[in-house]
Amino acid sequence: MAGPRVDRHLFVVFGATGDLLRRKLLPALYEVAGSLAGPGVPFQILGVARQALSDEAYRQICTEALVAAGAAPRAAARRWVAARVRYCSLGAGAPADFARLANRIEEVEKAAGLAGHRVFYLALPAEAIPSVVAGLGGAGLARSAGWSRLVVEKPFGTDLASAERLNRELHRFFDERSIYRIDHYLGKETVQNLLVFRFANMLFESVWNRDRISHVEITVAEALGVEERATYYDQSGALRDMVQSHLTQLLTLTAMEVPARLEADAVRNEKVKVLASVEPIRPDDVVRGQYAAGRAGRSRLRAYRNEPGIRRGSTTETFVALRLRLNNWRWQGVPFFLRTGKRLPEKRTEIVVHFRRPPVWFFPGPSVADVVANRLTITLQPDEGFEIAFELKRPGHAITLETHRLHFLYSEAFGPLADAYQTLLVDLMRGDPTLFVRADEVEAAWAVYAAVLARPPPLRAYPAGTWGPPEAERLAEELGHHWSDG
């Protein structure tokens, strides 16, 4: 089947020697290039970073990255890179450096016969973004004969005020329609499927409300610690790194109303409305934790404060659990429990929708309070799919109830799925911003957590390899619920 067709363009990537480019972006670009329809090479790549490198030296870096990521054997990687990759040093990033970059861009476009369609992908630390955007604008690069699209990776600011400031700086040179803020969770197949699942199936949408649902859990658990990103993570923490972005995206897609059309702004308007309906978070709605030393199987895990690169007395949280209330017609009275952490027992991302119990119970055995209510689990990791837990009668003379499950796994039905970055890159190249985060959306997401960021509750320790501090259980228990695991 022919893949999507895109305008032939120049893909300019800042942070061209960085980790994100080597591990994620380049392998995804390699896959995407092979899936696009149309003759010839659909995009040329111009890597931009501070250091001085020849095209040849940079091509070598890219070839190695593709081989290391398992994207292609060496010979194929080398050929692919030779056909489309070039490099331009940005030096100190002075106006003259951006002017030189502008010349180089024109030169490459001329040589490759491109019409001036450009992507500027900023795979950069947050603090470098404003000056690069100003440099692009100052050199006249925000406009061209074709389209110009600016891609910004998370984090989009560190709180509401900094996100507003960043948006203002981006808008000085780029209009909102050409800004693509990436949250890679939106490229995951199951996340996109939430819309289809909900709005193409009467079966689910008709019970998706306060009358039938008792509470919703959203868990993004990671077994890994901070790995190589200590400096970034220690300034950020779980609330900024995960909750404001990925978990909030899962929340909005789970809770939103049906959009008028399947169009970027129609979908994003509904997501913003969910955020606007979140009631102010109270201090006792939040539990912050940090992992202490612990174990995973036989191996010992060191405490967060003893990880390389982490400040000794750091009070950065590696775990957050919170409960949110949505003050709208659909969800009034239904708590949403959100939880994420590093060094938890396993990598697991899921949305668990708990339905209410039947209003009366006439079967033998447990009372209605002990009945296992229906549960729909939408899993994003480790396997993308969903599962419905329901009660049935065990065969035999007695009426004995047992919980069983129906499940669907994407991998069983369709084989391996594309990486989220591939999906997002194709949408970017096609100019479809539905799966990217709009300026007001990012600000509304920060506004939800403003009070917690301003007055963080006390930090609780949890042993690495466990499900977080015991206080997290209290959040659910106080409302008569439990998290779906140990």
* Catalytic positions, written as ranges: 246
Q: Nearest-CB residue to ligand BG6?
A: 241
Q: How far is the CB of 191 from ligand BG6 (least distance, A)?
A: 10
Distance from C-alpha of 240 to C-alpha of 63, rounded to nearest angstrom: 34
Give 213's strand partners.
355
Q: How far is the CB of 205 from ligand BG6 (least distance, A)?
A: 27
Site for ligand BG6 in 377-406 (CB under 6 A): 381
- Residue 461: Cβ-neighbour burial (10 angstroms; 0-12, 13-18, 19+): middle
Distance from C-alpha of 351 to C-alpha of 349, rounded to nearest angstrom: 7
- Please provide residue 283's backbone torsions phi and psi, each rounded to the nearest 5 degrees: -55, -35
Q: How far is the CB of 437 from ligand BG6 (least distance, A)?
A: 13
Site for ligand BG6 in 345-364 (CB under 6 A): 349
Binding mask 87-126 for ligand BG6 (x = CB under 6 A): ----------------------------------------
Q: Is 222 in the site for ligand BG6 (CB under 6 A)?
A: yes
Q: How far is the CB of 225 from ligand BG6 (least distance, A)?
A: 10
- Which of 59, 46, 54, 26 shows the shortest CA–CA distance to 136? 46
Distance from C-alpha of 419 to C-alpha of 424, rounded to nearest angstrom: 9
CA trace torsion 269, 274, 277, 283 (10° rounding): -130
- In angstroms, the Cα distances linking 198 to 257, 382, 484 are 10, 22, 22
- In angstroms, the Cα distances linking 291 to 141, 283, 346, 453, 461 are 45, 21, 14, 20, 6
- Which of 15, 85, 24 shows the shortest CA–CA distance to 49? 15
Task: Return the number of other C-beta atoms located less than 10 Å from residue 202's C-beta.
Answer: 8
- Residue 399: Cβ-neighbour burial (10 angstroms; 0-12, 13-18, 19+): exposed
Q: DSSP characters for 237-297?
A: HHIIIIIIIIIHHHHHHHHPPPPSSSSHHHHHHHHHHHHHTBPPPPGGGEEEEEEESEEET
Distance from C-alpha of 84 to C-alpha of 46, rounded to nearest angstrom: 8
- Which of 465, 399, 421, 412 shows the shortest CA–CA distance to 71? 421
Q: How far is the CB of 241 from ligand BG6 (least distance, A)?
A: 5
CB nearer to ligand BG6: pick between 97 and 427: 427
Helix (H) or strand (E) holding 403: strand 400-409
- In angstroms, the Cα distances linking 92 to 51, 96, 300, 306 are 9, 10, 44, 35
- Residues that bind ligand BG6 (rule: CB under 6 A) add up to a total of 4
Which residues have CB under 8 Å from 204's CB, separation 6+?
197, 198, 376
CB nearer to ligand BG6: pick between 9 and 342: 342
Q: How far is the CB of 154 from ligand BG6 (least distance, A)?
A: 6
Q: Is 419 in the site for ligand BG6 (CB under 6 A)?
A: no
CB nearer to ligand BG6: pick between 344 and 439: 344
Q: How far is the CB of 290 from ligand BG6 (least distance, A)?
A: 15
Distance from C-alpha of 447 to C-alpha of 320, rounded to nearest angstrom: 17
Helix (H) or strand (E) holding 120: strand 118-122
Q: How far is the CB of 130 from ligand BG6 (least distance, A)?
A: 20
Q: How far is the CB of 126 from ligand BG6 (least distance, A)?
A: 12
Binding mask 294-333 for ligand BG6 (x = CB under 6 A): ----------------------------------------
Distance from C-alpha of 299 to C-alpha of 147, rounded to nearest angstrom: 52
Distance from C-alpha of 421 to C-alpha of 184, rounded to nearest angstrom: 6
- Which of 16, 420, 445, 455 shows the shortest CA–CA distance to 182? 420
Binding mask 226-245 for ligand BG6 (x = CB under 6 A): ---------------x----
- Under the rule (CB under 6 A), what is the footprint of ligand BG6? 222, 241, 349, 381
